[in-house]
Amino acid sequence: MAFNGRRPSNSLWEPTPVSTQKRTDKLKLGAFFHPTGNHVASWLYPESQIDAGTNFAHYVEMAQIAERGKFDLMFLADAVATRDGNLEALSRWPQYMNFLDPLTLLAGLTAVTKHLGLVATATTSYNEPYQIARRLASFDHMTGGRAGWNVVTSANTSEAYNFGRDEHYAHGERYDRAEEFVEVVKGLWDSYDDGAFVRDRSSGRYFKPDALHFLHHQGENFKVRGPLHIERSPQGYPVLAQASASAVGTELAGRIAEIVFTPLHSLAQGQQIYQQLKDLAVKNGRQPDDIKIMPGLNAIVGRTEEEAKEKHFRLQSLIHSAVGRELLQNALRGMDLSPYGDDEPFPEDVVAKLLADDRRRYEPIVAGRPTIRQMYEKFAGARGQRTLVGSPTQVADDIEHWFVNHAVDGFLIQPAYTPGGLDDFVTLVVPELQHRGLFRTEYEGRTLRENLGLRRPPSRYAR
């Protein structure tokens, strides 16, 4: 089959009116964390697991907390390189400098969880479709249908240097490759029809010969004959997640993503993007319910508002200036911050230039004309996602407000520090959400798809 990659248009869409219908579905929840926590200074926080990156027992505990909270899924990010940059700053900020391979780690968690969806990140820029199709299909079998794949194109240039390249693929090229990559992987997942393996001792037939399909894919980036040597997995395809923010990435999400983790910063922006993604799914022949919008939520919860604020203040006070500046510099695409002191306001002409360049990306960072310190403090804690600091009722109120007003289908809870930050959410906020009838008290289904309310895709040969 030849690949017919569709080039996305450069523009986003016209806004569509927000739905006012009463919701009958339930909120979805996922856990997403960097080893010691989402906050950039979490490893310095006395209650965090300091060696979390390579500590398997820590991940077992995190998965079990998430499952106790009836979370839909736990999701692990990935990069296939350390971060490059100012070593003085990196040595004070362990994220992506020392951590376990997500799929290997999640495979280990299969045995200690029963219901939790396990979502691994794998890049389409530095992998081959056959290997990813094989690993994820294996993982879906091993989990009994709880596997997910966060499709990324790799944001870090440093990843290119480990895969025979001197530079990263250009943005559009990455997304063309991603689209073809996913198409091939799905094709390989359909190599055997459902029920192909009859394993019939009486006839001496192990599988039906006409239920095996060769893909014969030949496209711009990949040539893959197939078939994949593994039977169709419990979910048909593991659940596909994506976190793009650009126009081209969002269009791809409309075509392939079943969960979107894109950051959302205000209710109005959330409602607009939520509706746009649902419309895009429909434009691509899918149903609005086939795509679940679950942005990150950096929730810092205390038994009281004061306790939550105190935790947040303690974490913020631990941010080293070198780390804050490095992080900000990365968020501002390598902009040189050295001419500005920590307590100087960001120059107005630079703010205007950033907003003209990419309003959606930079507005949450530069709004209110903060100083460099205020900007990095705001950014370092949230890592680009929305921060919410409050009591269980306050946090539940906010979640409910976004959910009932059709800005999200759920949230990826990003604990500021681990394991305590996730434990706080599960112990304090989940019962409140359950009490309000917003969130499940028991898992509804067997598979991640069933729990998320996603259909099992039929094989392309059965369609």
Ligand X SMILES: Cc1cc2nc3c(=O)[nH]c(=O)nc-3n(C[C@H](O)[C@H](O)[C@H](O)COP(=O)(O)O)c2cc1C
In the complex, which residues of this chain contact ligand X (CB under 6 A)?
32, 77-79, 121, 123, 152-155, 243-246, 249, 261-263, 296
**Closer CB to ligand X, residue 96 or residue 192?**
96
SS3 293: strand
Q: What dihedral do alpha carbons 430, 431, 435, 439 form, nearest 10°?
A: 30
Nearer CB in complex with ligand X: 264/454: 264
Query: Which residues pair with residue 413 across a beta bridge?
Result: 31, 297
Angle in degrees, 0-180, between the axes of helices 247-256 and 267-283, rounded to the nearest 10: 60
Decide whether 246 or 271 has the Cβ nearer to ligand X.
246
Least distance from ligand X to the Cβ atom of residue 447, Å: 23
Residue type, 101: D
Query: What minimum distance in Å lies between the beta carbon of 267 and ligand X?
Result: 18
9-18: long-range contacts, CB 8 A cutoff, minimum separation 24: 9/247, 9/251, 10/247, 11/247, 12/247, 12/250, 12/276, 13/276, 13/279, 13/280, 15/272, 15/275, 15/276, 16/275, 16/276, 16/279, 17/275, 18/271, 18/272, 18/274, 18/275, 18/405, 18/406
**Residue 27 C-beta: closest distance to ligand X, Å:** 18
Nearer to ligand X, 81 or 355 (CB): 81
Beta carbon of residue 281, minimum distance to ligand X (angstroms, whole number): 17
Closest distance between ligand X and the C-beta of residue 80, in Å? 9
| Rounded Cα gap, residues 240 and 260, in angstroms | 9
Nearest-angstrom CA–CA distance, 430 and 405: 20
Least separation, in Å, of the C-beta of 249 and ligand X?
3
Least separation, in Å, of the C-beta of 106 and ligand X? 13
Helix, strand, coil percentages for the chain (3-state, nearest 5): 40, 15, 45
Query: How many CB atoms are closer than 10 A to CB 51?
Result: 12
Six token digits for residue 287 = 């149903």
Q: Tokens representing 179?
A: 């689209």
Q: Which residue is nearest to ligand X (CB)?
A: 249
Cβ 400 to ligand X shortest distance, Å? 22
With CA atoms as reference, report the closest residue to 67 among 120, 107, 119, 113.
Answer: 113
For 258, phi then psi, to 5°, come to -105, -20
Tokens of 386: 């929305």
Nearer to ligand X, 293 or 454 (CB): 293
